[in-house]
Copies of this chain bind each other. A is one copy, B any other.
């Protein structure tokens, strides 16, 4: 088999991770300083520093010059920088992202209705109203559109699902898609949001999913056009 000799830095990284977990350290807790780690783990400052830098990159620790080392409030946001580079290197197929988003939203609707979740309709209408106004003012519509979708995911009461959706959303934002430009398209989108809320309120899964599907159709059409043009 492959023993694959671990470097000292790797060993230290594992030890530190374990220490965080074993000591049940919470975000923003102060961690040991470089000097203390040198003393405790009996390795050079170089190794400690490289381990800390690594853990910082992974969003596990946060190092403040002059201040010390702290536990980062990791909510998987470190993943964003990875995605960003991945996107800038390989790009991403818009169509694939939209397909994923559709899957997520269809799934979210099903979860909400099947789990018989008590939906905060007010919040939905409130966001949708902001969306409406942003369309009229032609200002930041994407933001409010996005808020709606995120609220939908959050309503599923599945935190893990929400986290992953956020990550995918980051990817989405990187791609900076401006699929809907015309006001009439946006208005149609707004109407569909309203229909979706109603369907959810009535716990009508079929109707909700049909509306979402309809919501996505013009986007796919648009993408197909783009593909054909290029």
Contacts and interface: CB of A to CB of B under 8 A. Distances in A.
Summarize A's interface: helix, strand, loop or mixed.
helix
B93 A159 contact: yes
A181 to B, nearest CB: 24
Interface in A69-100: 74, 76, 78-79, 81-83, 85-86, 88-89, 92-93, 96-97, 99-100
Interface in A147-187: 156, 158-161, 164, 167-168, 171
Residue from the set A55, A81, A99, A161 with the largest chain B CB neighbour count within 10 Å? A99
A96 B110 CA distance: 14
A49 interface: yes
Interface of A: 7, 9, 17, 20-21, 46, 49-50, 53-60, 65, 74, 76, 78-79, 81-83, 85-86, 88-89, 92-93, 96-97, 99-100, 102-104, 106-108, 110-111, 156, 158-161, 164, 167-168, 171
